[in-house]
Amino acid sequence: MAERFQTAHVDDLERVPSFQGVTWLPIRRRFGIQAFGANAFAGDAGKLVIEEHDESGTGGSGAQEELYVVVTGRATFTIAGDAIDAPAGTLVFVRDPEAKRKALAAENGTVILALGGTRGEAYEPSAWEWIAPAIERQDAGDYEGAAAVVREGLARLPDHPSLLYNLACFEARSGEGEAAIEHLLRGLEIDPKMRAWAAKDEDFDSLRGDPRFESAVAGEPEPGRTGA
């Protein structure tokens, strides 16, 4: 049975390298929160704390409202082109999922809490929570470990196209060609715009020449199927 309560200090949270070199301090995963997104990000002066992103793409959870809270230090946010000085105790709410946002630390030891959810929808965690630690393993050459992390994500978010795509990448790199083809085809079926990524992605070099791969990337029916 899950514990009734859990506590931690931000200084005690695990620090995970994430996209664009930011340092992610997982909160939602640590506590098993299921109702809203909650994470912290940390950095010293001049470092990126919140990666530049919007909340409209398939890589995130899609159309999230996000509230950032500067817990310690001081940050400079850039949102929709506006620069915002944000000392500790500042709350920054980004209503528009399309608005580009990022934050740099203006002092050492800056920590920003990020809270998110989608209005009118039950909360689902973002796929990047699995993709970021998987990429870390990939960068260390551990493709099997990376695939294992993404499979955990697919257990929580079945058929998520970005997770399927990344799983296919790691499987292709680790010599699991058949599994890679299967997961890539499923991902491209759900999100055909990833075909353009797959066409140029070096992770799939071992699959090139396979007619199933070539057909899927070209957007053609799978060889051997009539389409009826």
Partner 1 sequence: MDRPYEVATIDDLDKVPVLQGALTWRPVRRRFGIEAFGVNVFSAERAGELVIEDHYEREGPEELYVVLRGRAAFTLGDGEEVDAPAGTLVFVRPGTHRVATAREPGTAVLGVGAKPGEPFEPSGWEWGAIAFAHLNRGDEEEGRRVIEDGVARDPDSWAAQYNLACFEARTGHPEEALEALGRAVEGDPESVRRFATGDEDFASIRDDSRFRELIGG
DSSP assignment, residue 4?
Answer: S
Identity of residue 6 = Q
Determine, following the binding rule CB under 8 A, whether residue 216 of this chain makes contact with partner 1: no
- Annotate each residue in 100-119 with x if it binds partner 1 (CB under 8 A) or - if it does not, as one string: -x---------x-x-xxxxx
Place of tokens 């060889």: 223
DSSP type of residue 73: S
**Site string (20-59) toward partner 1, x via CB under 8 A:** -------x---x-xxxx-x---------------------
By CB atoms closer than 10 A (0-12, 13-18, 19+), residue 134 is buried
Per the CB < 8 A criterion, the answer to whether 60 and 126 are in contact is yes
Of the pair 2, 218, the CB lying nearest partner 1 is at: 2
For partner 1, the closer CB: 29 or 212 = 29
Phi-psi region of 175 (alpha: psi -120 to 50; beta: other; left: phi over 0): left
Q: Which residue from 22, 58, 64, 189 is in contact with partner 1, where contact means CB under 8 A?
A: 64
Of 105 and 113, which CB lies nearer to partner 1 in the complex structure? 113
Torsion of CA 152, 176, 225, 214, to 10 degrees: 110
The distance of closest approach from Cβ of residue 84 to partner 1 in the complex, given in angstroms and rounded to an integer, is: 6
Which of residues 22, 42, 50, 92 is near partner 1 by CB under 8 A? 92
Going across the sheet that includes 37-43, the strands are: 16-17, 23-26, 37-43, 110-117, 65-72
- How is residue 97 annotated by DSSP? T
Number of residues that bind partner 1 (CB under 8 A): 52
Interatomic CA distance for residues 208 and 20, integer angstroms: 29
Which span (81-89, 130-138, 141-149, 213-221) binds partner 1, by CB under 8 A? Answer: 81-89
Binding site for partner 1 (CB under 8 A): 2-11, 27, 31, 33-36, 38, 64-65, 67, 69, 71-72, 79-80, 82, 84, 86-96, 98-99, 101, 111, 113, 115-123
